[in-house]
Amino acid sequence: MPSDTFFADVRIVADGIDVRGDLLVRDGLIADFGPSLGRPGGVSVIHEDGAVLCPGLVDMRVALGEPGFEYRETIASATAAASAGGITTLAALPDSQPAIDDPALAHLLIARGRETGAVTILPYGAVTRGCKGEELAEIGLLREAGAVAFTDGTRAIASTGLMRMALAYARGFGARIVQHPEDPSLARGGSATEGELAARLGLPAIPAAAEAILVARDIRLAALTGGAVHFAHVSTGEALSLIRRAKDEGVSVTCDTAPPYFDLNENAIGDYRTFVKLSPPLRREEERLAVVAGLADGTIDAIASDHQPRDADDKRLPFAQASAGGVGLATLLSVTLVRVHNGELSLGAAVSLLTSRPAALLGVNAGRIAKGAAADLCLFHPDRIWKVKSGTLPGKAQNTPFDGRALEGTVLGTWKAGRRVFGL
């Protein structure tokens, strides 16, 4: 059960809010907040010098592992990792086994989220049956069942005709198509970004242009159909330039990125470190800087963890054969705060990219601090240092690309509807 809680003398940061004061939670809701509320009786008091209180994070791209890949991650283990990362709402990718192409499975994921009591699970619906890219899934029925958007997860929708139909059909239900922007014919078999490093390491390469090629196609299709397209984990300056121009022209296009693409570059591969084999692959430094610029100027609409759990055996292979993907739930906030500490983002902008902006994209009432809103909250210390260490992270999967990294920004506590679900 939620307990009435009083957060005393804390910096409260949310979309349009940056104030030092107090916040009162009663019956799972935010009762009041502001400077010098006056401490009521009969409540639990939370006071941490130097801490920041923000809305619970909204992570719009998470592979849960369940159903079908429970050896990698389960809903229970992902929930533990999410809570430790300050995440209270997450959108689950549909490329599970079976894929979320049936309304009953969407209902099941929503119910399993409620059962955790710690995280709201928002299901994505599959664009195509089985996420196989061959025929459209029942978009209307999935939308009615609670699907917040439609995607084939880590698989690009390669067929131009099928993508056109998906955009047009989803438009009728007020839904977005979320694309993995990578031309499959250029990316197939690749494991690193094409260039000097991949050549020197002898790795099969993917040209960075594979991203922009699909982005350019789908922007044109969105303009043609009036549909809404969202590009996931954008990682190149060329793609961002196309998205920026399309937004200026009024095309319904949005995008997100993930921490590896604004914090790491291809040199992190080092001596074939498979934990940093990702999809899309890490890019050159100039591309990383372009992603940082896209965050700062508002071209990028959200930051997502792009959590892709992998079993140890998936990674204990030669780099080219190892599975792509990295976990990101527990490190989402801390890595984003690096950009704040470097002066590239304000704290308010960073919090919005992790809370209110992804919530708006998903069309859900989350990621905000307001009187009467659910008390989904994250308390963190922006300057407290912790070290990322594979094998000790919350959750089942441990394949973090940030292994060994010291990060400033520690989650002190997470509350879901007023109930504390994580605390140091």
Overall residue count recorded for the chain in this entry: 424
Evaluate the omega torsion of the peptide bond into residue 184 and state whether it is cis, within 30 degrees of 0. Answer: no
**What's the CA dihedral at 147, 77, 403, 406 to 10 degrees?**
90
Closest CA to 57 of 387, 398, 332, 372: 332
Tracing tokens 């910096």 back to the chain, one arrives at: 11
CA angle 256, 349, 121 (to 5 degrees): 50
Tracing tokens 């890019």 back to the chain, one arrives at: 283
| CA 288 to chain CA mean position, Å | 18
Return d(Cα 183, Cα 190) in angstroms, integer: 12
Return d(Cα 23, Cα 37) in angstroms, integer: 8
Measured from the Cβ of residue 6, the count of other Cβ atoms closer than 10 Å reads: 22
| CA 159 to chain CA mean position, Å | 26
| 14 in Cβ contact with 351 (< 8 Å) | yes
Return d(Cα 154, Cα 49) in angstroms, integer: 41
Tracing tokens 């030092």 back to the chain, one arrives at: 20
DSSP assignment of 9-58, as one string? Answer: EEEEEETTEEEEEEEEEETTEEEEEETT--PPSSSEEE--TT-EEEEPEE
Characterise 408 by phi-psi region: left (phi > 0), alpha (psi -120 to 50), beta (else).
beta
Identified catalytic residue from 59, 152, 306, 376: 306
Number of H helices and E strands in the chain, helices first, is 14, 19
59 has catalytic annotation: no
| CA 218 to chain CA mean position, Å | 21
Catalytic residues: 306
